[in-house]
Structure 1
Amino acid sequence: MAADQLTVKIGHVAAVSGPLSYFGKDNENGARMAIDELNSRNITIGGKKAKFVLLAEDDAGEPRLATVVAQKLVDAKVNAVIGHETSGTSIPASKIYHDAGIPEISAATTSPKYTEQGFNTTFRVVVNDKQLGRTLGRYAVKDMKAKRVALIDDRTAYGQGIAAEFVKGLQEAGGAIVTKEYTDDKKTEFGAILTKVRASNPDLIFFGGMSAVAGPMLHQMKALGMGKLRFIGGDGICSDEIATLSQGAMSDGQVVCAEAGGIEDSAKAGLEKFNANYKKRFGIDVQIYAPYVYDSIMTIVEAMVKAGSAEPAKYLPVLAQIRHSGLTGLIAFDQRGDIRDGTLTLYTFKNGHRTRIAVTK
């Protein structure tokens, strides 16, 4: 019987250590749920019973480490890769997978550069920063009535990219940037830049970066008498972790963020069931992208089944044309590997918990 069994190795990479570990562990948990479910289904690929194995790696959110673990997965002859978690890690790793001919789906990378490299192995199941950033820019003016905006970014590929797109959307809607300040993704002290921001008298702060920086920044804003100043950002700050990291300094409705995906009301029941199963298994709530990681793996496996092969060269053309009905909606890719007709979800926070405002396109 062993000859009739096929071992399918799925690589997953995220930052499961370091300041972004709360996101990375969430992603990896989503991958584990998908692998376990697939193994319970007795799936056959090309007439052979498939056994799915997860090879989980940690890149700590560091670009150099990302290339090291990418090569490790290539050497292990994985059949597919889900990841990486950030734009700064996914972009350098994607060339290694492309050179090896291994398909990669990211469930969290939003920089347009990721799919603009021309690699036919590179896909994502969430919208990119062009859509997300510009939507936030327009929302800041039209819905939050902000005209004067202070911009802060963390100089990462993600932070700079989403900030640039936010500015385009803001200016299209008639808003203006009154000051631009910069930090980095390791900083914990923001007194100097916040003092400059306060002097510019903005209606709103836009932050391009992650909760690990935004949370302490909100805490220091309150200490500087800026606790009522509204704060907006992308998916990097869009989990309950920001409330924890702000040490209670974040007020209800102060922060608005966007998740680079979203489901219409008709799909809520399936996602709620996933969330309940996730909490039962891991004892914590979903952060953001676990369902998208789950869907990424299911999409890859559907392509393998349809192609009758887990060999990357054979199922890759099928993956490029796939239409997979996932937890997070229909997954289909355009010629670059971007999600077609993707959605995003706007949130604020109440009592330290994320609260949905709207799903939009």
Structure 2
Amino acid sequence: MKFPWTILVTALLFAAVVTGNTTSYPRATENSPYTFNRLSDELMNERINQMDLPFAAQNSPQIKSVIRRFTVEGQRDSEYILGRAKIYFPIFEHYLRLYKLPETLKYLPIIESSLRPSVTSAVGAAGLWQFVPSTARLYGLTVNGQIDERLDPHKATEAAVRMLASLYEQFEDWGLVLAAYNCGPGRVRKAMRSANSSDYWTVRQYLPSESQHYVPRFIAAAYLMNYHAAHDITPRMPDYDMLDTRTFKVTRALHLGTLARQLELSYRTLTYLNPSYLQGLVPASAKGQFITVPTHVAADFKGRYIDTSSLPVPANHQKSEYTTVAGDKLETLAILFQCSPKDLIAWNGLINNKITVNQPLTVYLPQRVAKP
């Protein structure tokens, strides 16, 4: 049956006359196309300037267009990106702090992979940071039929941060560094010669077309992460087992299927958390392999696979547990816990002094500072 629209319109007009007001509509939000288009350049400039990006960010129609795609047309995808950021941003922040690089570079994998570690491109790039195999191997990542460390959030992030640090040594301009990350340093140097400039915004027009859009997309990704609430965009959070996790490094071989049965987890959960093991097999490695598990089974995993049973307990010390946060180093933790880095390595069966974020550590505190 057709709805009698003329009756509805008449009723609304009558209500407006009776109340003395115009018809009330739902509140317009910044993620509606009409309202977004009315956002002033002054407001956009103010927001972009407050993001503390590592280069001079400009507002332009192109940048505003990409921001619109994130906040209006691509709103649903952005909600998932925001949720996945809760998983991966602590890892990015950890390695960026270790290498003393700008923390806002953590937005880069948003435009590379939408924060999906298993995504691959048509040209063979893979992982959160989209390494091609040759570049991955150049930065020490293993890529073969059994393991693809481009998909390992920890190892790939450290490799990407090392690459960014190397590019900055060459160009000393973060806009040019991002362009070089996209199209390669050779093309950027060629564009600089053509522009006779080392300023990104001057060089930009001489870059390949995709690279001309790369930094604007980075600015738009940063905008999304900082101002999504202003557009009524709410993160769609992953399952709790994906969010609350602990990471260990093991040297022995194990199979994720066996591990799932032992820890009473779904195999899907373990493969999602550890995507680099293409066949579910974690190979033995003297350098160690990262294994991430939900926090509620971390103690069980540690008891099974991290051997510290033969280590002596220091006299007049009390056992405690600590979970690393972004930027932690064994040397600074040793000062905090009044021990040596060698102590922390021994107490936790570590391979070396390299640790990552969300890594559980056993510590022995002197009784005078131990918690009751």
TM range (shorter): under 0.3
State the structure with more CA Rg. Answer: 2
Point out the structure with the larger helix share: 2
